[in-house]
């Protein structure tokens, strides 16, 4: 939902994720099984129930969004703007950090240093 709203209002939407969460062998999002968390996480707190006992609850661990809604992926090896299979695959091949020129202009230098510290 947040990615859709961001796109509608021309706001960039960034996803921060470790490379370990990306499976290059998975052809698309429909092939990814989505785990569900316990409904209690969203229906109660410290033993106090606030949702109806028989309410149907869907509490996914994560969601999958179309790649065209993602402005960039931020990973421990760098940033991928307009992510696609080729661009993401490059991150797995290279051992050096790749920060796009666009990012170096937008982010303060100390933040870029923080992202890249000890990763080369």
- Condensed to tens digits (0 to 9), the pLDDT of residues 10-43 reads 999 999 988 888 888 887 778 888 899 998 888 9
pLDDT tens digits, residue range 53-107?
Answer: 888 999 998 888 888 899 999 988 889 999 888 888 888 876 544 444 444 455 5
- CA–CA gap between residue 108 and residue 120 (Å, rounded): 20
Count H helices and E strands in the chain, helices first: 5, 5
Return d(Cα 29, Cα 31) in angstroms, integer. 5
Max CA-CA distance within the chain? 52
Distances (CA, A) of 10 to 1, 7, 45, 69: 14, 5, 36, 10
């Amino acid at each position: 939902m947040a990615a859709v709203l961001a796109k509608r209002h021309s706001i960039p939407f960034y996803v921060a994720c470790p490379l370990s969460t990306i499976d290059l062998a998975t052809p698309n999002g429909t092939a990814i099984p989505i785990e569900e968390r316990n409904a209690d996480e969203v229906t109660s707190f410290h033993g106090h129930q606030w949702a109806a006992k028989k309410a149907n609850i869907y509490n996914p661990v994560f969601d999958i969004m179309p790649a065209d809604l993602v402005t960039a992926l931020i990973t421990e090896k760098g940033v991928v703007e307009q992510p696609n299979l080729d661009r993401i695959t490059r991150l797995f091949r290279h051992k050096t950090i790749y920060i796009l020129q666009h990012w170096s202009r937008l982010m303060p230098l100390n933040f870029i240093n923080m992202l890249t510290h000890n990763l080369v």
